[in-house]
Structure 1
Amino acid sequence: MSNIKYILGHFADPDDLMHGIDKLQEGNVKIYDVFTPMPIHGIEDKLGIKRSRLGKVAFCFGLTGTITAISMIYYMLVYDWPMNIGGKPHFAFPDFVPIMFELTVLFCSFGMVGTYFFVNHLAPGRAPRVMDLRATNDRFVVAIDAKENPYHDKIDNILKEAGAVEIKHNERKYVSYE
């Protein structure tokens, strides 16, 4: 059994990359991931990537902030230290809308920053997911799992026909920055 974990096809042009993805899918080759230095319109649909759940996560963080604001206001001004100011009720809801809005935005923004760092492997102690350092600079890289696709010569030929500039057989899962 081979030590090769991934076959990397380097492309110099995004159009060649999209053509290469079509050729690989026609040959029933399962693509692990694609790394590009810039966003490419339509690549998610071509690879079958589902819509992101970040909107739902942001809503949950915002809802947590709103509930925290309402709970704090109720506890501080109604339960713990009720004060009669100008004959207003203890829990005057319209007065506390700005506070609830601010805590909603604060929780959502900090939660999304933390989620971004965690999901993209940027949190301290996590290994970065970079197949080839040139993928963040000037190359478009298609990564193919070599264990799921045993016909390496067939894959190499498909990549060459599609216009790959370079084909590498990666033996390590991730490249470190050290």
Structure 2
Amino acid sequence: MSNKVIQAMYDDDDVLIKAVKETRAAHHHIEEVYTPFPVHGLDRAMGLENTRIAITAFIYGLVGLSFAVWMLDYMMIQDWPQNIGGKPSFTFYENMPAFVPIMFEMTVFFAAHLMVITFYMRSKIWPFQKASNPDPRTTDDKFVMEVALHGNEDELTSFLKATGAIEIKVEDKHE
């Protein structure tokens, strides 16, 4: 399935944000915006929902903490209890203060590594994947806004020119 999109190129991030707001106000669907650097306020201008990445980081941290508690209890209390520094290993609770650094490190380890994996899976960024940006100039100093084309091409082209676009292309977007 293919559909057409109009790619409007801008050379200033402030003009881009203004164009995104005007395009949304005119009820056109913005497919994607490609920028060479993060643009403050672009997510709000596009109407994107807030991210839930902090919730997943917390859950991954809890997984790491649970694994650390299980690992320490199994290794130091059940499997091979030792009297280290005059402190016998009768229960996990009695020895927990000595285990806090390991529990903290495992929490951070699991949260960080699972967040990286989640980010790559969610963004569909895989190792050795070819870049999917529509124009190589979007990695240097230009901004591209892709708007879905559902009707009069000339009308939408003139609308985007009026928002400050310096270049406009019509492309078939294959999904």
Q: Normalising by structure 1, what TM-score?
A: 0.84
Partner residue, 1:70: 69
Per mean C-alpha deviation after superposition, the further-off stretch among 100-109 and 3-12 is: 3-12
Secondary structure in 2 aligned to 1:51? coil
CA distance in 1, matches of 2:3, 2:173: 8
Cα displacement (A) at 1:100: 0.4
2:38 aligned partner, one-letter code: P
User: Hey, what does 2:15 align to over in structure 1?
Assistant: 16
| 1:5 aligned counterpart, secondary structure | strand
CA deviation string 1:14-56 (max 9, x = no partner): 1221222233223221111211112222221111111111111
CA contact (8 A) 2:34 2:144 kept: yes
Aligned to 1:57: 56
Correspondence 1:100-119 to 2 at 5 A = 100-119=103-122
Q: Root-mean-square deviation (CA), in Å?
A: 2.1
Question: Which residues of 2 match residues 65-144 of structure 1 at below 5 A?
Answer: 65-85=64-84, 86-88=86-88, 89-91=90-92, 92-124=95-127, 128-144=131-147
Alignment of 1:33-44 (within 5 A): 33-44=32-43
Distance in 1, Cα, partners of 2:139 & 2:118: 21
Amino acid at match of 1:107: F
Amino acid at match of 1:45: R
Q: Is the 8 A contact 2:157 2:168 kept in 1?
A: yes
Number of aligned positions between the proteins: 170
Secondary structure (helix, strand or coil) at the match of 2:141 reads coil
SS of the residue 1:115 aligns to: helix
Shift of the 107–49 alpha-carbon distance from structure 1 to 2, 3 Å rule, reads same
Identity, % of aligned pairs? Answer: 35
Does the aligned pair in 2 maintain the 1:131–1:173 contact within 8 Å? no
Structure 1 Cα separation of the partners of residues 56 and 131 of structure 2: 23
The range that moved more, 13-22 or 155-164, is: 13-22
- TM-score of the two chains, using structure 2 as the length reference: 0.86
Conserved 8 A contact 2:24-2:46 = no
| Structure 1 residues not aligned, in runs of 5+ | none
